């Protein structure tokens, strides 16, 4: 109740039912508050995951040492261009201590963001720390979810209220432009995923069989996914394919329609994302999409005490930065980028190292079989024992767990490597070398 008026009475927000009212949103104090707390939790899950993995992935004795990579980048580009190509704090040091220090700093910023302490500063610190890992992690930072998080964080910097303890932030209300760009990211995740399915020509999507083997062939399945796979008939899976296209190509557009449609969209997509979270482990990807959906609703829908506020106008540098993001995301959209001359793509290509203007497209082509890469060790060269994995399916008699938003990046990469010729992935060979060294 700290955010009600000083006289103790909560004032209801003004009604907003007009067409296009979301363009002048002055009714998003609570959705912004909820989104920023959720963003802090998502960052916290990302840094928590890295705390147990980063030294093994990119430490000096890890699989792909960041120090070796950055030295190679510097030799190839020179220091000035290298700093832009690989934006990371690890240029200062890539020791195990430095890696963990950046992760702990990012985790601390995430905790403070959850507690609503200096949210704008905390978003910036968490984003810089996470970008530092992405800029040096090479093959271990090639996921669309990483780009989703960095893009959302960059825009959220302009959305977050200023001050040390802003509470609900009524004195610094949400920027309509920042709100729009976060919903624009949410929309693109859905719509572009639908478009790439159509453009891929994958017969499984066209024949409504794409979900028949999906639950067991995904990167890291769950035990609930096993039941859905084994106990439900083809008709259910075919209907699921139809629903996926409906969500991605039709319902996503509800975000730009009047309030009633946005609320329907929020309810439907929240249930949709919850179903995905229960049946597959995609780290924090679905949590980002689910939580971005909170921005579809307004203060009146949440029925919480809300002080009056008016939409905030950003400074012209902020508007230029966000406008750049909007343009860059438009020109890299599926089916558009290859039609444009290179000079028009420059604003997008210039931002590629920062992963804040991305093209999305999930599951354009579905896998029909599952192969596993297994590492084995032996002390006598006769009896070989598989190295156990904590998260990747390995023992057919052991049910897989539900552990998202935790992201085991090594196991994730093994799934991608198993889809093709594993010898083409240098990090697989480096893993073997590190195992032989006893690392």
- The confidence score (pLDDT) of residue 305 equals 84
Q: Which helix (H) or strand (E) holds 71?
A: helix 66-77
272/397: higher pLDDT: 272
* Mean of pLDDT over the chain: 91
Domain boundaries, the chain: 29-354
Tens digit of pLDDT for each residue in 119-135? 999 999 999 999 999 99
- Average pLDDT over every residue of 257-285: 97
Task: Tell me if 34 sits within 8 A of 156, measured CB to CB.
Answer: no
The percent of residues in the chain predicted with pLDDT above 90, rounded, is 75
Would the pLDDT of 17 be above 80? no
Tens digit of pLDDT for each residue in 27-66? 899 999 999 999 999 999 999 999 999 999 999 999 999 9
- The confidence score (pLDDT) of residue 422 equals 81
Tens digit of pLDDT for each residue in 66-79? 999 999 999 999 99
Would the pLDDT of 8 be above 90? no
* DSSP assigned state of 404: T
Closest by Cα among 131, 46, 121, 130 to 83 = 131
Would the pLDDT of 250 be above 60? yes
Cα 372 off chain centre by: 25
Residue showing tokens 């195990």 = 96
Would the pLDDT of 15 be above 60? no
- Average pLDDT over every residue of 335-353: 85
C-alpha 177/C-alpha 171 separation (Å) is 17
Residue 386: helix, strand or coil by DSSP? Answer: strand
Tens digit of pLDDT for each residue in 156-209? 999 999 999 999 998 899 999 999 999 999 999 999 999 999 999 999 999 999
- The confidence score (pLDDT) of residue 25 equals 53
Would the pLDDT of 291 be above 90? yes
- The confidence score (pLDDT) of residue 1 equals 35
Would the pLDDT of 12 be above 50? no
Residue 270: helix, strand or coil by DSSP? Answer: helix
* DSSP assigned state of 377: E
- The confidence score (pLDDT) of residue 4 equals 34
C-alpha 19/C-alpha 257 separation (Å) is 7
- The confidence score (pLDDT) of residue 338 equals 78
- The confidence score (pLDDT) of residue 26 equals 57
Overall pTM > 0.85? yes
Would the pLDDT of 241 be above 60? yes
- The confidence score (pLDDT) of residue 273 equals 98
Q: How many CB atoms lie within 10 A of CB 151?
A: 27
Tens digit of pLDDT for each residue in 82-130? 999 999 999 999 999 999 999 999 999 999 999 999 999 999 999 999 9
Contacts of 309 (CB under 8 A, 6+ apart): 26, 29, 170, 171, 173
267/399: higher pLDDT: 267
């Amino acid at each position: 109740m700290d955010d009600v008026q000083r006289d103790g009475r909560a004032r209801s927000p003004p009604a907003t039912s007009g067409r296009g009212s979301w363009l002048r949103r002055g009714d998003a104090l609570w959705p912004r508050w909820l989104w920023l707390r959720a963003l802090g939790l998502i960052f916290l899950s990302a840094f928590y995951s890295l705390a147990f993995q980063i030294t093994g992935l990119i430490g000096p004795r890890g699989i792909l040492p960041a120090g070796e990579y950055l030295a190679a980048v510097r030799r190839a580009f020179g220091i000035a261009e290298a700093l832009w190509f690989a934006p990371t704090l690890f240029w200062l040091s890539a020791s195990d201590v430095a890696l963990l220090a950046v992760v702990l700093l990012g985790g601390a910023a995430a905790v403070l963001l959850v507690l609503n302490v200096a949210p704008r500063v905390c978003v910036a610190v968490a984003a810089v720390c996470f970008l530092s890992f992405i800029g040096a992690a090479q093959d271990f930072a090639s996921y669309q979810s990483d780009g989703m998080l960095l893009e959302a964080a960059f825009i959220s910097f302009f959305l977050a209220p200023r001050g040390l303890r802003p509470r609900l932030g009524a004195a610094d209300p949400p920027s309509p432009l920042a709100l729009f760009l976060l919903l624009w990211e949410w929309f693109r995740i859905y719509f572009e995923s639908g478009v790439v399915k159509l453009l891929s020509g994958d017969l499984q999507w066209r024949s409504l069989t794409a979900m028949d083997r999906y639950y067991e062939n995904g990167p890291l399945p769950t035990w609930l996914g096993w039941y859905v796979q084994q106990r439900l008939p083809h008709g259910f899976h075919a209907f699921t394919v139809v629903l996926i296209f409906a969500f991605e190509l039709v319902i996503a557009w509800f975000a730009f329609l009047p309030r009633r449609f946005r609320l329907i969209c929020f309810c439907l997509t929240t249930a949709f994302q919850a179903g995905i979270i229960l049946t597959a482990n995609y780290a924090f990807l679905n949590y980002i999409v689910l939580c971005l959906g909170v921005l579809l609703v307004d203060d009146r829908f949440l029925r919480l005490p809300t002080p009056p506020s008016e939409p905030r106008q950003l400074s012209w540098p902020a508007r230029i930065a966000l406008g750049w993001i909007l343009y860059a995301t438009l020109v890299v959209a599926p089916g558009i980028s290859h039609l444009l001359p290179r000079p028009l793509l420059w604003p997008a290509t210039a931002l590629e190292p920062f992963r804040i203007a991305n093209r999305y497209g999930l599951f354009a082509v579905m896998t029909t079989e599952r192969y596993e890469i297994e590492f084995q060790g032996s002390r006598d060269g006769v009896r070989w024992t598989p190295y156990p994995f904590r998260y990747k399916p390995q023992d057919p008699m052991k049910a897989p767990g539900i552990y998202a938003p935790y992201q085991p990046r090594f196991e994730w990469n093994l799934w991608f490597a198993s889809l093709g010729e594993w010898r083409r992935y240098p990090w697989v060979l480096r893993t073997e070398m590190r195992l032989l060294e006893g690392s």
